[in-house]
Amino acid sequence: MIAIKSEHELVLMRQACKITAAARALAGDMVRPGVSTKQINKAVHDFIVGQDAKPSFLHYNGYPASVCISVNETVIHGIPGDYVLREGDIVSIDVGANYQGFHGDCAATFACGAISTEAKKLIDVTKRSFFEGIRFATHGHRVSDISHAIQTYVESNGFGIVRSFVGHGVGAQLHEEPEVPNFGAPGRGPRLLPGMTIAVEPMVTAGTYEVKVLPDRWTTVTADGALAAHYENTVLITDGEPEILTVYEGL
């Protein structure tokens, strides 16, 4: 069942999303050579807790950290640790915050110093594909209209779009119905209605779209070792244009 959020629930979601977006911005500012992924995780954790919220990811299905940090060929769910960022890395930050029972969820890929032309294009296309998708995140469209727009844009730029993992509804649960794939034919899936809140999150690769999960059961990498990027926001369906809830405007 797809939850339609009440006005009160949206007040809480907006605050959760505001905190989440600020945490993403904080993490992004820390992406530079010489910083460990563990340091970024601690800073994000402390920030979210300092906002009277809880890190949504910590202990979620056993996940051991407060933020997913995925470097280079890691697509999603990279576990922070002792890895020290290096010049030329691209670093995907995925974060969620739970404020009074409601979640925000967002991600972005950041350059660590100077990066290759290919890597920059990958990051740019990934972010742009999100905006191509949410042109269809309006009352009356179907979920797969978003999916099709993302896939079309990504593949027209010569990149792959991950199929094994998808976007999702978000609210009182971190993952709710409906699933929001980043590929597929238009005109399928649930019809979008005002009050729905969804996380749209293209995961894009510089090679094959196929991925594999490492033995830690979390870290997901490209099957061919090519670079990957990730971009995500929590989006509210309205009577008009979609509202991106995870926009950083300061706290």
Q: Which domains does the chain have, with CATH numbers?
A: 7-244 (3.90.230.10)
* Rounded-to-integer distance, Cα 48 and Cα 134, Å: 27
Distances (CA, A) of 132 to 16, 29, 144, 224: 25, 26, 13, 27
Residue type, 12: L
pLDDT at 131: 98
pLDDT, tens only, 186-227: 999 999 999 999 999 999 999 999 999 999 999 999 999 999
User: Taking Cα atoms as reference points, which of 70, 23, 67 lies closest to residue 48?
Assistant: 23
State the average pLDDT over residues 27-55.
98
Three-state DSSP class for residue 177:
strand
> Which residue type does 9 have?
E
Q: Which of 140, 145, 156 is nearest to 204 (CA)?
A: 156
φ and ψ at residue 47, rounded to 5 degrees = -65, -50
pLDDT of residue 5: 98
Q: Which residues of 84-95 are buried (b: 16+ CB within 10 A; e: fewer)?
A: ebeeebbbbbbb
Dihedral (Cα; 120, 209, 25, 47), 10-degree rounding: -150
Q: Give mean pLDDT, residues 115-137.
A: 98
Residue 251: pLDDT band by 50, 70, 90 thresholds?
A: low
- Residue 249's pLDDT is what? 76
